[in-house]
Chain A
Amino acid sequence: MMSKSKILSCLNCNEPRDELIYSISTQEPESLKKSFTDALELAGGEFLESKEESLESTLQELTSKSVASSYNYKVTTINPNAIDNTLDLSKLDCAIVEAKFGVAENGAVWINEEDNINRAIYTIVNHLIVILKGEIVPTMLEAYELIEYEDFNYGLFISGPSKTADIEQTLVIGAHGAKKTTVVLVAS
């Protein structure tokens, strides 16, 4: 605790009396959906649209072997929260997760699955399928307005598959996380 007080003694600890004020005028694109799909494709991701009633058959076409999901889709073979061995997790091929909303400017989706205690699911599988039922917001500014008062334990924006350009600036898809990311937009 000595260190804490020593560090804080060099800093201003009083409650701010001045306000932090800034404003940004964002320009909304003509079509949020088109911007979202363009940005997602640029980030290496794949995009599909499905009607609520045909979602199950869309998922059937997308998946093959093992499918982990904490939602009861017909293709679901296992609930990731029931796996406590990391080696078993690593054998999973595909995961289906649900996103709360998408962001048009960068193709990212916001995922925070309250009941999903097995967080490795977002990066350990080869193929990540994201079901997007919510809205698409223009930019990250609107995105954080939506989650500012949200109560989450762990949440992440994901934009496309895992990638790296650490070898001679050559883009390679599939660094440590998913090699393929498909966003399925469910039309309401």
Chain B
Amino acid sequence: MNHAKKSREFLKDSSYAKWHDEALWYVREKRDRATAEVKEFEQLREAAQKIKEYTLKHLGYYLEQFEENATKNGIVVHWAQDAKEHNKIVEQILKNAKAKLIVKSKSMLTEECGLNSHLEDSGYTIIDTDLGERIVQLRGEAPSHIVLPAIHLKKEQIGKLFEEKLNSQKGNFDPTYLTSVARDNLREKFLTADAAITGANFAVAKSGSIVVCTNEGNADLGTSLAKTHIVSMGIEKIIPSLRDLGVFTRVLARSATGQAITTYTSHFKVPSIGKELHVVIVDNQRSSILNSDNQSALSCIRCGACMNTCPVYRRSGGHSYSYTIPGPIGSILGAFRELKDDGDLAYACTLCASCDNVCPVKIPIHNHLYSFRKEYVKSSYMPKFKLLAYKSAAKLMQNRAIFNRIVRFSKYSNPLLNRLSLWGKGRDMPKPAKKSFREWYDEQE
């Protein structure tokens, strides 16, 4: 099912859709307040963009530098070309460590690789520990947002889920209570887990260290209790030095949730005595993106700001997107990987460019999506009726005489279109002026 069809399902309950829209807009407003407080925020965005561009340009050099320094620190570095190899490596590490129970902190890469189901099929128990991720895991769903995985759910739905799965009090839907139920339940898992898997927000080449940002403390608790820590990271997470982190830690949380910084910004450099630290560096088509016109999409630091501001995401929900990462940035990555199945995501966009304006690393997101539209039109995947509509519109617009007639006719046709066309659903066509510009112009001396 494509994005448009799934969105239609999402929009069936209009009060729910409105609630979802407002919940995300609330986060966007928090972002605005937090960034406005930092006078030099635009300078920080420019610096963040520069650092990412520079590192991507020299990515091979910095990856090798990272491996060299991380190895000196006692970290074991692995390389995986694709999802399958990543999962195989992780499984082998777990097997060597005789691990059975694994706690995981938020990692979109392991979602991308389908690690959970791979390990479950092999008999491992893997528990997501971020509260939002745990909720969607218990529901058997994917996260609907990269920073707020359960943003699509109401507290009543979560309360009922906890009643069933975690034995919580019947009818108690208080978020504070529900959080404490999850805390107690997950504390047990933390204390008995054999291994901990985390993602990486940043990997620092010069110091050979991994940086993870969380609010809940799940990454620190999980990794400090388990014997083995595995980090899954994409090749694009590298930055040259700790100094550069000064820029990213100033923009990340402000853009994501409107906080000045996440509660925990943890630097893993040397494993604890008697413990293991593994880093799996994953390509999985990232190098192809790097060598394409879409390179800047790899600068993304996964803050989710483009989702919170997107008028389409807010009104269609993360589960309407066919790629693991939803919203504007995910639509680029999805369309790049699979134009046939995910190319329609380039149309889950109004080209308003609001995403470009909030992106902390200044990715021209809407330009990428526009370029995928061009590719999609040229491909054979474009639905025939849509292609026909586009071609007819192009013909009409190229012919001045016909175009002028349409403009003159619009005062009659627009009210009609409000009722008949898809565009008129939930919004009004603009009210035309009494005279078109051309009519007015012809009357001038």
Contact = CB atoms under 8 A, between A and B. Distances in A.
Contact of A120 (B192, B225, B257, B267): B225
Contacts of A163: 215-216, 263
A69 to B, nearest CB: 16
B58 A165 contact: no
Contacts of A148: 241-243
A174 B180 contact: yes
Given A7-B283, A167-B158, A145 B129 contact: no
Contact of B264 (A3, A24, A156, A168): A156
Contacts of A23: 43, 47
A53 interface: no
A114 to B, nearest CB: 10
B23 to A, nearest CB: 6
B64 to A, nearest CB: 6
Interface in A126-146: 139-145
A158 interface: yes
Nearest to A155: B267
A87 interface: yes
B71 to A, nearest CB: 12
A161 B63 CA distance: 34
A177 B264 contact: yes
B269 A106 contact: no
Given A8-B64, A140-B261, A174-B183, A25 B43 contact: yes
Contacts of B61: 12-16
A20 B206 CA distance: 14
Interface string B212-224: 0001111011011
Contacts, number: 244
B113 interface: no
Contacts of A157: 249, 261, 264-265
A3 B246 CA distance: 32
Nearest to B49: A22
Interface residues of B, number: 89
Interface string B7-41: 00000000000000001001100000000001110
B16 to A, nearest CB: 13
Nearest to B86: A3
A152 B40 CA distance: 30
B51 A106 contact: no
B4 interface: no
Among A117, A155, A175, residue most surrounded by chain B Cβ atoms (within 10 Å): A175
Interface string B226-261: 000000000100001111111101100000010111
B287 A159 contact: no
B191 interface: yes
B60 A159 contact: no
B79 A141 contact: no
A158 B80 contact: no
Given A3-B85, A160-B263, A154 B268 contact: yes
Contacts of A27: 39-40
A177 B220 contact: yes
B221 A12 contact: no
Contacts of A139: 246, 250
A110 B290 CA distance: 35
B178 A22 contact: no
A172 interface: yes
Nearest to B268: A154
Interface of B: 23, 26-27, 38-40, 43-44, 46-47, 50-51, 54, 57-61, 63-64, 79-81, 85, 129-132, 135, 148-151, 153-155, 158, 175-176, 178-180, 183, 186-187, 190-192, 215-218, 220-221, 223-225, 235, 240-247, 249-250, 257, 259-270, 272-273, 281, 283, 287-288, 290-291
Given A1-B79, A119-B272, A166-B150, 6 more contacts: A3-B79, A7-B235, A86-B225, A122-B220, A154-B270, A162-B216
15 contacts: A3-B79, A11-B63, A22-B51, A24-B47, A42-B260, A139-B250, A140-B245, A145-B243, A154-B267, A157-B265, A161-B263, A164-B215, A166-B135, A166-B150, A174-B179
